[in-house]
Chains A and B, each alone.
Chain A
Amino acid sequence: MIRLKKKSTPAPEPTAAKADEAMPDAAPAEGEKEKVSILGIGGKKMSKGTGSKKRKTPGEIRIQKDIAELDGGDVAVINFPNANDLTKFHVVVTPDTGFWKGATYHFTFSIPAMYPHEPPKVHCDTKIFHPNINLEGNVCLNILRQDWKPVLDINAVIYGLIYLFYEPNPDDPLNKEAAALYRDDIKMFERHVARTLPR
């Protein structure tokens, strides 16, 4: 039983027979007779709460942890418009190989309040001719939608984006024209990409 001595009683403080992992200190004194309870009639609401102090939500803590480990390497640079808001940032990808080598692409990340229960939202702000990114800036990356799991993190999404520049997937395309050209005439695709590279 969760057994707590009255507030005035000196240590040992709360002890618990069942929840002993939480309260490892000691078992109640032998032969204790006094009836006590932590709740209900024994637990009058006398103390004040901790006031209106704003606290970090579990989602915000997780975001902080993810961000503090964020490392895009040389290919991705991460910028925060407001250093005090960790839920909105830009990722600038500069592929070092592949069709889009040397060009820079801007992505806007916004992390929902339900993170990591819900995936980050990603938008491509730079126009790109790519089988998996359409002209509206939607990105088709499995872990951004159907394959998202809370164990994944923001780093995984950034690596996923970088991978799209190395190995586009023309078989499940978002930009059908780009995919068809990629599949049917890779030289032509390469020329088209080169023509449309942002400068």
Chain B
Amino acid sequence: MATDNKYDRQLRLWGANGQRALAESHVLLLGAGPAGTETLKNLVLPGVGRFTVVDGATVSEADLGNNFFVRPEDVGRPRAAATAELLKELNPDVEGFHRVARPEEVVAAEPDFVASGFSLVIAAQLEPAALQALGERCWANNVPLIAIRAYGLLGVVRLQVRRLEVVESKPDNVAWDLRLAAPFPELEAAADALDLDGMADADHAHAPYVLVLAKLAKAWRVSHGGASPKTRAEKDEFRALVAGAARELPSKVPEMNFEEASNEAYRCWADPRELPWEAQAWIDDARAAPDAPSEGRRGSVGSEAAPAAPPSATHVAVASVAAFMDAHGGLPPLSGAVPDMHADTASFVALQKLYAARADADRAACLAIFAAKLAEATGAPPTADEAAALALVCKHVRDVKLVATRSLADELAAPNLGEAATALFETDDAREKAQAPVVWYAALRAADRFFVKRGAWPGADGADLAADAAAVADELRAFVTEADCADAFDGVLSEAHAKEIARFGAAELHAIAAVVGGVASQEAVKVLAKQYTPIDHTYLFNGIAATAAIIDV
């Protein structure tokens, strides 16, 4: 044991910021079946602050066969109490509460209970009507909702979020902002001071490529009326210039720093004012409405407007960055991070300090704007937390994004099935088509329609399987027709799908529930920590062929 921190392995993903956000969260679970308890397990283990389980069932024999958080001696006890107890036992850092009540009744009778006071609501196996009502409540109050179900060999995770501010989106490839196309004075001075011709071989082979490029790019601009390489021919010419600046050393070993410079030459014309569209969208939004953050996605049918909430410190920080950019010719604050490169220690450290100093200065300028905005609104200077929020936005300005999904209400009323069904055309293999996740999405919607009409799931214990399958087949046809997609599914959907739904009989297999619980808890962590990119918006796991897809219906 070389660490005493039990969270070590996850801190390496979401860091202290993410862990703090997780520890400050309170998660509501509606429905303590296996999908629900598995999701909660994966949130209790990493240290979510609090949870509340709402469930109206009594522990039965069947629970012992698919739910890990009940024991034989719990049979007959309220399932909410038994599961909350065993979940809490997983991690002494976590507070757990429970309430014995049917989730469907709580949603109907106490809409304010479910949609206020919780950081996130997880609805497991909720009946269709209750889920729709809950979706509307959560949307109105801007509470993130994750709806999950395990149905035979099918698993579904549905995220609904109206507006989520993500700063640390942690893209797979870091977009280093090196400012080579718009160098700041200190960078230019350092490049000017680089005497490439007069250097000893060892120093020449260890000059950081960033300075080499800055120097050669400046020389280019001087001889081209101030313009950077633009045309393809000019870019090729510049690259050749960079390659030609390398020295042939006595050892015949090519200079690695100049190889890097050739590879990275495009940075001399990549405009640092151009941000990823998601970042630009939020910055534009914050510039237009610094005090009243808009919704991530507008125009949901029949839903209320979000209640007017004061903007978060993060939103004000983004607005401050927008103002900074307006005052600096569109350049965002410098992040200050520099990638590793072939260089000697002293040159590299000096380069790092150069960028860090510039980033500090930009951040200070942003902070001044930020403080003025806050003073206007609250009359108080920024708190330590608010200043930290500003610093985080400055550091990750290219990674910020507003996350929003389609609302459940929209999905139910007007499913965009056509777009999702394009997956069907990516393969000619009939067997693959039949197992495309979107096909099973449609099949589950048919099961829902069946339930709404009959108050029971197709293929429930004692049901007439053949009759139920026929009824599901009817619902399936009706659903794709109403969704205006009958053509796309023609020849793909068959009676076999309806029969399979009836066969499942809404069985909750533990392995499927565990897949669902894993994906749902991962998305919960992203939403609570405001990091990475959550799904948009439905993940469907097809346990028949072990295929899965994101479906934005």
- Give chain A's interface residues, CB within 8 Å of chain B: 167-172, 179-180, 183
* Most chain A beta-carbon neighbours within 10 Å: one of B202, B206, B249, B252: B202
Q: Determine the distance from Cα of A168 to Cα of B206 in the docked complex, in whole angstroms.
A: 17
Chain B residues lying within 8 Å of A180, measured Cβ to Cβ, are: 202
* B202 surroundings in chain A (CB, below 8 A): 170-171, 179-180, 183
Residues of B bordering A, CB below 8 Å: 201-202, 205-206, 249-253, 255-256
Complex Cα gap A52–B251 (Å): 55
Give 7 nearest A-B pairs by CB, closest first: A171-B205, A169-B253, A169-B251, A171-B253, A170-B251, A171-B251, A171-B249
Cross-chain pairs A/B with CB under 8 angstroms, 8 sampled: A170-B202, A171-B202, A171-B205, A171-B253, A172-B253, A180-B202, A183-B201, A183-B202
A6 to B202, alpha carbons, bound, how many Å? 73
The main secondary structure of chain A at its interface with chain B is: loop
Cα of A170 to Cα of B206 in the assembled complex, Å: 12
Give the interface SS of chain B, mostly helix, strand, loop or mixed: loop
Chain A residue numbers with a CB within 8 Å of B251 are: 167-171
Closest to A180 in B: B202
**Neighbouring A residues of B253 by C-beta, 8 Å:** 167, 169, 171-172
CB proximity of A128 to chain B, nearest CB, Å: 18
Q: Smallest CB-CB separation from A131: which chain B residue?
A: B251
Q: Do residues A167 and B249 form an inter-chain contact, with CB atoms below 8 A?
A: no
| Shortest distance between the CB of B247 and any CB in chain A (Å) | 10
In the assembled complex, the Cα of A171 lies from the Cα of B254 at a distance in Å of 10
Interchain nearest-CB distance for A130 vs B (Å): 13
**Minimum distance in angstroms from A170 CB to a CB of chain B:** 6
What distance in Å separates the Cβ of B260 from its nearest Cβ neighbour in chain A? 14
- List the A side residues contacting B249 at CB < 8 Å: 171
**Which chain B residues border A171 with CB–CB below 8 Å?**
201-202, 205-206, 249, 251, 253, 255
Q: Chain B contacts of A179 at CB under 8 A?
A: 202
Question: Contact: A167 with B201, CB < 8 Å?
Answer: no
A133 to B205, alpha carbons, bound, how many Å? Answer: 20
Residues of chain A within 8 A (CB-CB) of B206 are: 171
- Most chain B CB within a 10 A radius of its CB, from A167, A170, A179, A180: A170
What residue in chain A is nearest B256 (Cβ atoms)? A172
Chain B contacts for A183, CB-based, 8 A = 201-202, 250
List 20 additional contacts besides A172-B256, A183-B250; criterion CB under 8 Å. A167-B251, A167-B253, A168-B251, A169-B251, A169-B253, A170-B202, A170-B251, A171-B201, A171-B202, A171-B205, A171-B206, A171-B249, A171-B253, A171-B255, A172-B205, A172-B253, A179-B202, A180-B202, A183-B201, A183-B202
The distance in angstroms between the C-alpha atoms of A171 and B256, with both chains bound, is 10
Q: A170: which B residues are within 8 A, CB to CB?
A: 202, 251
Query: Considering only CB atoms, which chain A residue lies closest to B251 in the complex?
Result: A169
Whole-angstrom CA separation of A61 from B468 in the bound complex: 59
CA distance A180 to B256 in the complex (A): 19
Task: Look across to chain A and name the residue whose beta carbon is closest to the beta carbon of B254.
Answer: A171
The CA-CA distance from A180 to B253 in the complex, in Å, is 16
Complex-state Cα separation, A167 to B254, whole angstroms: 13
A172–B250 alpha-carbon span in the complex (Å): 13
Q: Compute how far the CA of A179 lies from the CA of B252 in the bound complex, rounded to whole angstroms.
A: 15
B410 to chain A, nearest CB (A): 42
